[in-house]
Chain A
Amino acid sequence: MTQLALVIDLNVCVGCHACVTSCKEWNTSGTAGYMSDMNPFSKDPTGTFFNRVQTFEVGQFPNTETVHFPKSCLHCEDPPCVPVCPTGASYKRESDGIVLVDSEKCIGCNYCSWACPYGARELDAEQKIMKKCTLCVDRIYDESLPEKERKPACVLACPTSARLFGDVNDPESEVSHAIRDSGGYQLMPEWGTRPANHYLPRRKMSITIHEDELVRADNPLKKERKLPMPDADDPTLDETTSW
């Protein structure tokens, strides 16, 4: 069964918020209605977003590491927000595993947002219905778009390609490879929600090289009876050495 999802590489994310703004730009004219903003140009601006980037500092100064952490609906394979919905407005699509809210059925009771441990759902302050990431369902199947643009807006906007999109249940997909190769993990596994979105961890960028690895100890040209490597402090002369 197909399960579309995002894989977000925390090693690559630079925290530029391009995914946030492109998400809002695309989805504010989506089928579920606009994403309202309160006081956008005055004090205390606030509004509805499907995707937010948070920043954490890990470690003790000066040995700290900044981690930018994009957070949106994880499209859980066992979504706790779906069974609690009293109207059936909150549902998970059989065909591709996307969790959606039917904007015509939602009564704005907030109950699904209580059941989601990730806080991935937001009640729109003006329309009074629950809003959440749709994985750009109105774009990824749009055949009027060129095929390479049939991806969520956040994925297309990411300047560092920190966001991958695909079917996590297909073992040969790009996202499955990324999860396997880079140790992809899920958020809050303790609740058994089986989030479809995965995160790739920060990776060490330094390697240890010992001195004897810098210079070759043996002479690979011995069999050709060429001259061995001179000492490192000897003058280097072309023709007289094989190196």
Chain B
Amino acid sequence: MHPAFSVIFLTTLIGAGQGLFLALYTGQLYSVFKLLPEQDSVHFYALGSFIALLLLMAGLVSSFFHLGRPERAWRSAARWRTSWLSREVIALPAFMGAVAIWGLIHYLGWNPVLVTLGRGTQIDLSLLVGGVTTLLCFTLFLFTGMIYACIKMLQEWATPLTTINYTLLGGASGFILATAFAAIHGAGMVNFFAGWSIILTLLAFATRSASLLRNARLRHKSTLETAIGIRHAKIEQKAQGAMAGSFNTREYFHGASKRKYKSIKWLFLVLVFPLPLLILSLGLGTQSAALFVLAFLVQYVSLLLERWFFFAQANHPQNLYYQTV
């Protein structure tokens, strides 16, 4: 498939935004149970959720560039019963709204205690809203992944690993961002976030490699024989029905040379996983915020390569009708 930059930015930006929210909320949960030091509502949670919202907003804006008719985008919420894309269109603003409410509760301090558990553990409103937001966050990861995983014709995508990768890569990217944010604005949260960043990056490395291995040994169901219905071992295309290409030759092919395609795969495998891990561990040693910021930036930019490869690798069966592109 042709990697569209609008979708590459959409999925990586909202992934980071979702991960950042999950990190902040996990931090809040731990501090409620006195496992981590308490943070400042305004400077940590409100500001953090504002950054997450900015990322989500940037992703949403980027998605509009994918549409031929962005002025009709509102229509895309109509078919949530059948279309995963429609479901995502609903889930993204819903999640953004929930993050905004969660941030606002922290910012305004309008945070009444709802229940007091034993040993003085207080469950306040922000914790409840954050729980609902977390549910919406995972729903959004599921919907985003399913947009790709539900198309059985694109066999490289039609696997649960697609959804798992979106979740883990988004989570890793968001937790590294939370580490950098905590190094600047938090108190005593850096090691917790950095630890989870390392775990999530390693998990994402495992599942992304699994999907690469799976796709390397994939057998495509369609062949030129089933595409035109002629049983013969040797069929050669002589004309594609258009002199200078068409939508079919542009939309479904990545257009990169074999060398570029292969090098991007190895590049992202190194830049998304081992390099940020190295920078993270250096950062943990020196407790330097700049290194954590660098780790996030390196991984984010490399995730663009990872997403490019995700699209480029998908081989659409219609390409059988265009043998010489």
Contacts and interface: CB of A to CB of B under 8 A. Distances in A.
A55 B230 CA distance: 13
A119 B318 CA distance: 5
Given A20-B241, A54-B321, A58-B234, A115 B247 contact: no
B69 A187 contact: no
Nearest to B246: A46
Nearest to A119: B318
Instruction: From A20, A47, A69, A82, name the one whose CB has the most chain B CB atoms within 10 angstroms.
Output: A69
Interface in A79-128: 80, 82-89, 105-111, 113-119, 121-123, 125, 127-128
Instruction: From B227, B245, B252, name the one whose CB has the most chain A CB atoms within 10 angstroms.
Output: B227
Interface in B190-217: none
A59 B247 contact: no
B70 interface: yes
A165 B226 CA distance: 23
A190 B75 contact: no
A108 B251 contact: no
Nearest to A127: B68
Given A119-B316, A125-B247, A86 B86 contact: yes
Given A67-B228, A188-B227, A105 B79 contact: no
A9 to B, nearest CB: 12
B67 A187 contact: no
Nearest to B83: A86
A107 B247 contact: no
A92 B317 CA distance: 22
A202 B230 contact: yes
B153 A56 contact: no
Interface in B226-250: 226-230, 232, 234-248
A191 B235 contact: no
Contacts of B43: none
Contacts of B239: 15, 53-55
A114 B238 CA distance: 25
A119 B321 contact: yes
Instruction: From B232, B247, B252, name the one whose CB has the most chain A CB atoms within 10 angstroms.
Output: B247
A189 interface: yes
B82 A107 contact: no
A48 B86 CA distance: 27
Contact of B85 (A48, A53, A84): A84
Nearest to B76: A86
B237 A84 contact: no
Contact of B230 (A67, A71, A105, A129): A67
Contact of B241 (A54, A121, A125, A190): A54
Interface in A43-66: 43-49, 52-60, 66
A68 to B, nearest CB: 9
Contacts of A46: 242-246
B82 A83 contact: yes
Nearest to A200: B229
Q: How large is the interface on B (under 10, 10 to 19, 20 to 34, 35 or more residues)?
A: 35 or more
A86 B89 contact: yes
A185 interface: yes
A190 B89 CA distance: 31
Given A56-B236, A119-B316, A125-B247, A114 B151 contact: yes
Interface string A202-218: 10000000000000000
Given A58-B232, A71-B241, A117 B317 contact: yes
Nearest to A20: B241
A166 interface: no
Contacts of B66: 109-110
Instruction: From A48, A85, A87, A111, name the one whose CB has the most chain B CB atoms within 10 angstroms.
Output: A87
A126 to B, nearest CB: 10
A30 interface: no
B105 interface: no
Instruction: From B76, B152, B154, B229, name the one whose CB has the most chain A CB atoms within 10 angstroms.
Output: B229
A54 B320 CA distance: 12
Contact of B68 (A39, A44, A108): A108
Contacts of B150: 84
Contacts of B73: 107
Interface string A129-167: 100000000000000000000000000000000000000
Interface of A: 15, 20, 39, 43-49, 52-60, 66-67, 69, 71, 80, 82-89, 105-111, 113-119, 121-123, 125, 127-129, 185-191, 199, 201-202
Given A55-B238, A117-B316, 14 more contacts: A15-B239, A46-B243, A58-B230, A58-B232, A85-B83, A87-B72, A87-B86, A107-B70, A107-B76, A109-B85, A117-B318, A125-B247, A129-B68, A188-B226
- Which 4 residue pairs spanning A and B have beta carbons closest together? A108-B68, A128-B68, A119-B318, A52-B241
14 contacts: A46-B245, A46-B246, A49-B246, A54-B321, A57-B236, A80-B153, A84-B151, A113-B247, A113-B251, A119-B252, A119-B319, A189-B226, A190-B226, A191-B153
Interface of B: 1, 66-70, 72-73, 75-79, 82-86, 89, 147, 150-154, 221-222, 226-230, 232, 234-248, 251-252, 316-319, 321-322
